Amino acid sequence: MATFFYGGCCLFTHSFYTKPMLETKNKCLRLKVCGITRLEDALLASSLGVDAIGFVFYKKSPRYITADSAAKIIQTLPPFMTTVGLFVNPTQQDIDDTLAVCPMDTIQLHGNEEPEFCKQQQRQVVKAVAISSVEDLDNIHQFECPVLLDAKAPQDVYGGTGQSFDWSVLDNLAHDYPVILAGGINMTNIDAAMRVEGLYALDVSSGVESAKGIKDKQKMITLCEKFH
């Protein structure tokens, strides 16, 4: 099993990264589909060449899935699909209990978690940072890990709104670790998202859904065709 490094940072330890990276319009750009709740959606993502799928372990989310249900999906996946567990303001015990049932390759922390909490995790962490203006980009530098940039949501709402922020604020984007773009990416704007410089991956969810937590097959196919 190989370890993949980006800018000196280990993002995923997965044998997938021993293979050549997919050629896209933005070379080496990866794609994650988040909010998976059904096996058929996970298998469709895999068949379309999606690099990672995400499971939401935040009970207030309409895309929430239990650790037991996520584990059953993961056990059925073909090889080389990276799995990501999304948590919002969890305790360490919350994370440990979930991973004991449902091992994940990567943890995505989507709440108000402090940098030290991110650093103490035993798995690779992606930290979500809410963005509405260029000044918000200053917040990413406190995190010594990959970051996911999502549109700033109303108080006590943590992502999943389907809203985008003004991507032009990323014109001078700089971070020592991989940067992932999220928030309202869909079939109509994915070309613009792919033109943003300096990104490691795109993260989509609502843009490929027919209902919250239910992925739409045709939207998935169309978006992935545009991506690849």
Average pLDDT of 162-187? Answer: 92
pLDDT in tens, 199-214: 999 999 999 999 999 9
Q: What is the pLDDT of residues 18-77, one digit of tens each?
A: 233 334 444 589 999 999 999 999 999 999 999 999 999 999 999 999 999 999 999 999
**What average pLDDT does range 192-202 have in this prediction?**
95
Residue 8 has pLDDT above 80, yes or no: no
Q: Is the pLDDT score of 129 beyond 50?
A: yes
pLDDT of 159 reads 63
Is a pLDDT exceeding 90 seen at residue 7? no
Number of domains in the chain: 1
- 14/61: higher pLDDT: 61
Q: Contact at 8 Å (CB) between 199 and 181?
A: yes
Among the listed residues 113, 149, 109, the one whose alpha carbon sits nearest the alpha carbon of residue 126? 109
- 154 pLDDT more than 90: no
| CATH code for the domain in which residue 52 is found | 3.20.20.70
Q: Tell me, what DSSP letter sits at residue 112?
A: S
Residue in 34, 102, 118, 145 annotated catalytic:
34
pLDDT of residue 157: 61
Is 34 known to be catalytic?
yes
For residues 79 and 136, what is the distance between their CA atoms, to the nearest angstrom? 37
Q: Percentage of residues in the chain with pLDDT exceeding 70?
A: 84
* Tokens standing for residue 3: 């370890």
For residue 193, pLDDT over 70 is answered with yes
Taking the CA atoms of residue 86, residue 127, residue 60 and residue 78 in that order, the dihedral angle to the nearest 10 degrees is -10
| Longest CA–CA separation in the chain, Å | 43
Percent of the chain clearing pLDDT 90 (strictly above) = 79
pLDDT > 50? residue 155? yes
Which entry of 41, 51, 105, 150 is annotated as an active-site residue?
Answer: 150
Whether the per-residue pLDDT at 163 is higher than 90: the answer is: no
Q: Does residue 198 carry a pLDDT above 70?
A: yes
- pLDDT tens for 72-94 read 999 999 999 999 999 999 999 99
Backbone angles phi, psi at 118, to 5 degrees: -65, -45
Q: What pTM was computed for the model?
A: 0.86
H-only helix segments in the chain: 39-47, 67-76, 92-101, 115-119, 190-194, 217-227
Contact yes or no for 33/215 (Cβ under 8 A):
yes
CB distance 32 to 39 below 8 Å: no
Per-residue b or e along 121-133, where b marks 16 or more CB atoms closer than 10 Å to that residue's CB: beebbbbbbbbee
Q: Which range of residues forms the domain containing residue 48?
A: 3-227
Mean pLDDT, residues 2-6 taken together: 39
Query: Quick one: pLDDT at residue 188?
Result: 94
Q: Which amino acid is at 164?
A: S
- Would residue 150 show up in a list of annotated catalytic residues for this protein? yes
For the segment 172-200, the average pLDDT, to the nearest whole number, is 94
